[in-house]
Amino acid sequence: MKLLRTASAGKDDSGDCLVTVSPAEGVSLDYRGANREIFAQRTRNLVEEVLKEKSVDGAAVVIDDHGAIKITIRARLETALERAAKEGAGA
């Protein structure tokens, strides 16, 4: 999967997260949220897992976490990636 543009998915609501992905050289993660230190490793592992599954080599990932569980972060990240890779979609 090749990212073509910046795209987001999710919300700033409690129990949710807002994920933004952009095309980049290599992988970077900017993980924000009140409990970022506790969940940093969990989230990094999850992001790496999803990027590997989707064969994404280059992505800048920003996650604003408002208490989302792993299932939610995965769903939002997958949607953001698919939106960013969609041919012919707007910016």
Report the alpha-carbon distance of residue 53 to residue 51 in Å, rounded: 5
Q: Are 83 and 17 in contact (CB under 8 A)?
A: no
User: DSSP code of 1?
Assistant: -
If the CB atoms of residues 59 and 80 are measured against other proteins, the closer one turns out to be 80
Q: Is 5 in the site for other proteins (CB under 8 A)?
A: no
The alpha-helical segments, DSSP class H, found in 1-91 are 36-53, 70-85
Give the x/- contact pattern for other proteins in 42-61, rule: CB under 8 A: --------------------
Q: Is 38 in the site for other proteins (CB under 8 A)?
A: no
**Which residues form the interface with other proteins (CB under 8 A)?**
9-11, 13-16, 67-72, 74-76, 78-79, 82-83
